[in-house]
Amino acid sequence: MTPTRRKPPRVGDGPIIRRVLIGATLFFGAILVLAPLIVIAVEAFSQGLKVYAATIAHPDTGHAIYLTVATALIAVPANTAFGLAAAWAITKFDFWGRRVLLVVIEIPFSISPIVAGVAYLFVYGLQGLFGPMLESADIKILFALPGIVLASMFVTAPFVARELIPLMQAQGRDLEEAATSLGASGWRIFFSVTLPNVKWALLYGVVLCNARVMGEFGAVSVVSGNIRGQTNTLPLHIELLYHDYQAAGAFAAASILATLAVVTILAKVGLERRGAGRRPALGSAAKEQNTGTRT
């Protein structure tokens, strides 16, 4: 019989520390993250399937879902295009203001969405910067779909760019330079060299961006005006139902968003398996370390 060898503890590897850390993480994870999700599921069905189905089938809920999907359909592609353009510009060109642009892209992450909403009120509102001009041209931005889309786009602007920039930076310019020297045009390089190498990271950014667009509350609540059946997106609708003391209805509507979240997580895990989200995964060839360099 071979005696079981006791592993000598490494730093912070003692049994007490290990158990306390793991235990605390699991405990808080359950309380903070898992419990609310379970509550949503339980509460949504608390008054039976009928109430659940009725809420989901209610025209106001339907309209809210429609509005949310419509917003996502416009905002996500727009931000994808913006993210790609920004990442390409920042990583492949040197220009004045490059660092500033890098910081500007991050602003929506650090600013409260409600501030963004209020800012939009001042820009497009009746008393705002462009208000009178838009009014005379009969273009309605606030309290309508365009406003909702704009606010959502502001909040989610960094998502795609943030995924692409580190990856494209790690990949460097060698591939593009190789392609040009072989005679490829700009578009050709983009579609047959750049895009295939960032596609998983791009999709990952799109998934995260979509989740955030559909779930955005703060900025949208300011610019949408909260008109039931007209300018209510799903998150706003949930809040309305809740304030109307329709707890079961609110939770039913919330379960839709929760389901979306779970789908997003699954998609995210799937994409991570393919190498997205992990930093310099693809530059394999480019990252070979020098051996035996001499001077």
Q: How far is the CB of 177 from another protein (least distance, A)?
A: 5
Q: How far is the CB of 164 from another protein (least distance, A)?
A: 16
Q: How far is the CB of 200 from another protein (least distance, A)?
A: 11
Cβ proximity to another protein: between 93 and 245 the closer is 93
Assigned token pair, 247: 């707890």
Cβ proximity to another protein: between 131 and 280 the closer is 280
Cβ proximity to another protein: between 138 and 288 the closer is 288
List CB contacts of 37: < 8 A, sequence separation 6 or more. Answer: 258
Q: How far is the CB of 208 from another protein (least distance, A)?
A: 23
C-alpha torsion angle, residues 203, 204, 207, 212 (rounded to 10): -140
Dihedral sign from CA coordinates of 42, 43, 47, 50: negative
Residues that bind another protein (CB under 8 A): 174-175, 177-185, 188, 192-193, 196-197, 282, 284-295
Look at the chain and count its residues. 295
Q: How far is the CB of 193 from another protein (least distance, A)?
A: 6
**Contact 219/157 with Cβ under 8 angstroms?**
no
Q: Which residue reads 């009178």 in tokens?
A: 132
Distance from C-alpha of 129 to C-alpha of 10, rounded to nearest angstrom? 62
Greatest distance between any 2 Cα atoms in the chain: 91
Cβ proximity to another protein: between 59 and 292 the closer is 292
Distance from C-alpha of 28 to C-alpha of 46, rounded to nearest angstrom? 26
Cβ proximity to another protein: between 17 and 182 the closer is 182
